[in-house]
Structure 1
Amino acid sequence: MMDTVQAIALAFDYSAKRLLSFKENLEANAQVKEEMVRRQKLKTLFETRWASRSDSLNTFLSAYNVVVDSLEDLEQQGDSKARGYACSIDFIVSLVVVQSTLQPLVPLSAMLQNKEIDLIEAVAENKVVIEQLRRNRNEDGHWDDLFHKATVVAASVNEVPVIPRGVARQVNRVNVPAVNPSQYWKRAMYLPFVDHLIQELTSRLVKNEDRFAAQTLIPQNLHVLTNDMLNKIFTCYHDDLTATTVVEFQEEVDRWRIKWDMARDPTCKLASLSETLAVTNFNLYPNIFICLSILITMPVATATAERSFSLMRRVKTHVRSTMLSQTFKSLSATRL
């Protein structure tokens, strides 16, 4: 479904004739034009930015009628690919469900892309999103609303949701038992999709929650460091620490806490991980130094690395293909 949405968005975006047909049909449909919020074309989606995917699917869903009308007009005008695109957009139920399910992930995705993200807060917000997905999954009324919305969209283009053709010994397609289209799409598409999202969110963030607790060692966060968190930190980092017992580690943390309590200006306590690591004396606080060193190498998201790749495209162009590594490194550091 997402690949087809991307293909159709690019087809309209890179063809003046198709884009003109889309704009003409958009002007003729006042309701869709209002839902598009001053947009004149479809929004392409990015492979790595899930926030943009939700926005792209929302735009495509709002302009679904216009897309269908435009493809029909282009087919009558002799566009050879319009017929193929028109036959491939029979995924209304999937479109509605995925767009609605990804919507709660947009604020979380934006939060995870922040360079100075709070790891503990990110895990807490991730748990909220997971709980929201679970409640929606187990609530029949939520699915009924989604399926009703898909039915309304299908009716606007003279279609009705149906159960795909299946056989008794089907092995290559989803062949779940169902008595009606609503039950089929819920079992075949909605439940597996939501379960996959919950599993991914849990394995990527919640699973590393104890390791992220080392963020409480930052001076500005010491007031939230409890004995329970301290035990979790020691358990997670035990293999790399010089302390052999939790009591030894706790004594070092107590000295670390007193050090910052005796600071001349308590309001100037360090708030970032990199700044704290720079002033931590390894000889005096070896275990804290190790914890912070490991934590700083554990990015919660890949946004920073993807920004580097995007920057590389702008710095090392075809004209600069023979650029040496040192020059490229210097220019990249300047841009960042």
Structure 2
Amino acid sequence: MSGKFRGVQAIIRQTAPHATYVHCKSHQLNLALVHSSSQACVRTIMGTVQDIAFAFDYSAKRLQYFKNELLGDQNAKDQMESRTKLRTLCETRWSSRADALHTFKASFSVIVSSLEALKNDGDDKAGGRLAAILRFEFIIGLVVTEHILSGTVALSNHLQSVDCDLMEAATECRTVISMLRNERADDDVWNELFDQAVGVAAEYGIQPCVPRQTGRQQQRANYQIPDPRQYWKVSLFLVFLDHLITELETRLLDSEGRFKAETLFPRNLQQLTDDIVNAVFDAFEVDLSDKASYLTEVRRWRTRWVAIPLKDRPRGLCEILDRTSRDLYPNIRNIFSVLLSMPTSTASAERSFSSMRRIKTYLRTTMTTERLSALAVLHTHRDTQVDIDTVIDDFAAAKSRKLQFV
């Protein structure tokens, strides 16, 4: 899709050189989370969570132990939100990491008791898995990672919504990044997370500690900080936040010239400078008439919205386009139309691809393309009301039949 020479975007640009390739923002967010989780401590936590989730998910015996222990723990049952098993990680499913960590954290006591029961029942690997999670390094990593990743779930769901435009997506991305920066600078956030981890560890007699420090270490963090609170803040919390913020800025906030047209929004006109006005014209030159008329429109556009209170100005791109006259502001309307045609994500297309597994089953392998297309349309627009009587009449009238439909 994104190949520079033979990809779909390269073929499209041969016909439309000024077309802008926009990577799916939902995929970009998922890649940012995956790459941020490559930190040694976080990677170890993810691997342990995945191993235990697979162990319970693919074994009926272990899953039954888990369900029995869950029935006796009402607190964990409430936090699991009607779930009866752990969630596994997936490299391609959006928000799977945050969801898996939340489920693991909510059922931590159930997992411990289940592994203890399995160990006593002769499960060879239960003891090793139990020892892996009953360490302060794992508990503090689980609490911190789950908290940070949970802040991106709402953004992921928003990027997959049907009515989300590119500019609104960029605004929400900046909001999440600002939230993460504020948490990084707020000591109360870290102290609350550390105290939470200490509380969980205390239930199993685990004391806060730091890994063994050596003169030289390349496989993990080796900060010479004896205090556990400060050590884990520097080696885990700050490092993970910095990595995630950098990934989000690099992948989600593209500095493409066309995105600077956001400053033409009525709510953002205070950010519109002469340099940005010229940069927007250069990016949309092929879609505009001439620079003189464009500059005149921008001046009138500014004057129009200055007298209107900020709360009364349109917010979304669709609303702004509806209130932009084609006769008075043809160039500015063209800019907004181009922005609106640039997709935020491919979530809708991904859902269509996924539906093929439900439509083209082994019982339908011999159907024609026409029938497959019709079934796909019915599945996509399943919310549309269909008059059954009309369908029967059309079917009966298609050919002369001996059987009479009543």
| Residue 161 (structure 1) aligns with | 208
- Report the equivalent of 1:247: 292
Q: Does 1:4 align with 2:48?
A: yes
Change (3 A) 1:256 1:334: farther
The equivalent residue for 1:123 is 170
1:132 alignment counterpart = 179
**Residue 314, structure 1, aligned to residue 358, structure 2:** yes
Instruction: Report if aligned partners of 2:89, 2:100 keep a CA contact under 8 Å in 1.
Output: yes
In structure 2, C-alpha distance between the alignment counterparts of 1:335 and 1:118, rounded to whole Å? 25
CA distance in 1: counterparts of 2:271 and 2:182, whole angstroms: 29
Distance 2:299 2:214 in 1: 68
Corresponding residue for residue 111 of structure 2: 67
TM-superposed deviation, 1:45:
4.0
Native 8 Å contact 1:205 1:300 kept in 2: no
Q: Give the alignment of 1:153-232 within 5 angstroms.
A: 153-208=200-255, 211-212=258-259, 214=261, 226=269, 229=272, 232=276
User: For 2:95, what is the secondary structure of its paired residue?
Assistant: helix
TM-score normalised to the size of structure 1?
0.75
* Partner amino acid, structure 1, of 2:219: N
Provide closer, same or farther for how the CA distance between residues 224 and 330 of structure 1 changes in structure 2, counting only shifts above 3 A: farther
Distance in 1 of aligned mates of 2:283 and 2:82: 57
Give the aligned partner of residue 267 of structure 1. Answer: none
Deviation at 1:94, TM superposition (A): 0.9
1:67, CA displacement in angstroms?
0.3
**Distance in 2 of aligned mates of 1:255 and 1:183:** 56
Distance 1:137 1:307, change over 3 A: same
CA distance in 1, matches of 2:351, 2:123: 38
Q: What does residue 106 of structure 1 align with?
A: 153
Contact preservation (8 Å) 1:120, 1:213 = no
Question: Which residue of 2 is the match for residue 18 of structure 1?
Answer: 62
Matched, 1:143 2:187: no
Alignment of 1:92-103 (within 5 A): 92-103=139-150
Aligned-residue offset at 1:27: 2.5
Q: Does 1:57 align with 2:104?
A: no
Structure-2 separation of matches of 1:21 and 1:320 = 39
- Alignment CA distance shift 1:40-1:230 (3 Å): same
In structure 2, runs of 5+ residues without a counterpart are: 1-44, 303-315, 381-406
Deviation per CA, 1:249-305: give whole Å up to 9, x if none. 345779999xxxxxxxxxxxx9759x99xxx99xx96886577446624x3344345
Please tell me the residue identity of whatever aligns with 1:150.
A
Tell me whether 1:77 sits opposite 2:121 in the alignment.
yes
User: Counterpart of 1:88 in 2: which secondary structure?
Assistant: helix
CA distance in 2, matches of 1:7, 1:236: 50
2:391 alignment partner in structure 1: none
Summarize the alignment of residues 241-320 of structure 1 with structure 2, pairs less than 5 Å apart: 241-242=285-286, 246-251=291-296, 272=318, 289=334, 292-293=337-338, 296-297=341-342, 299-317=343-361
Distance in structure 2 (CA, Å) of the matches to 1:205 and 1:245: 31
Per-residue deviation, 1:84: 3.5
Q: How far apart are residue 119 of structure 1 and its match?
A: 3.1
Quote the Cα distance in structure 2 between the aligned partners of 1:230 and 1:183: 44
CA–CA distance in structure 2, aligned partners of residues 96 and 203 of structure 1: 26
Cα distance change, pair 174–308 in 1 and its aligned pair in 2 (3 A) = farther
Distance 1:166 1:301, change over 3 A: farther
Q: 1:65·1:156 contact (CA, 8 Å) conserved in 2?
A: no
Q: Identify the residue that residue 261 of structure 1 maps to in structure 2.
A: none
**AA at the equivalent of 2:104:** F
Percent identity, aligned pairs only?
Answer: 41
Distance 1:192 1:327 in 2: 54
CA distance in 2, matches of 1:174, 1:17: 38
Partner residue of 2:132 out of 88, 98, 103? 88
- In the other structure, the counterpart of 2:73 is 29
1:44 matched to 2:88? The reply is yes
TM-score (norm 2): 0.64
Higher relative contact order (CA 8 A, sep 6+): 2
Hey, what does 1:262 align to over in structure 2?
none
CA distance in 2, matches of 1:30, 1:251: 67
Alpha-carbon distance in 2 for matches of 1:255, 1:309: 46
* C-alpha displacement of 1:85: 2.5
Q: Distance in 2 between matches of 1:196 and 1:142?
A: 18
CA distance in 2, matches of 1:209, 1:128: 19
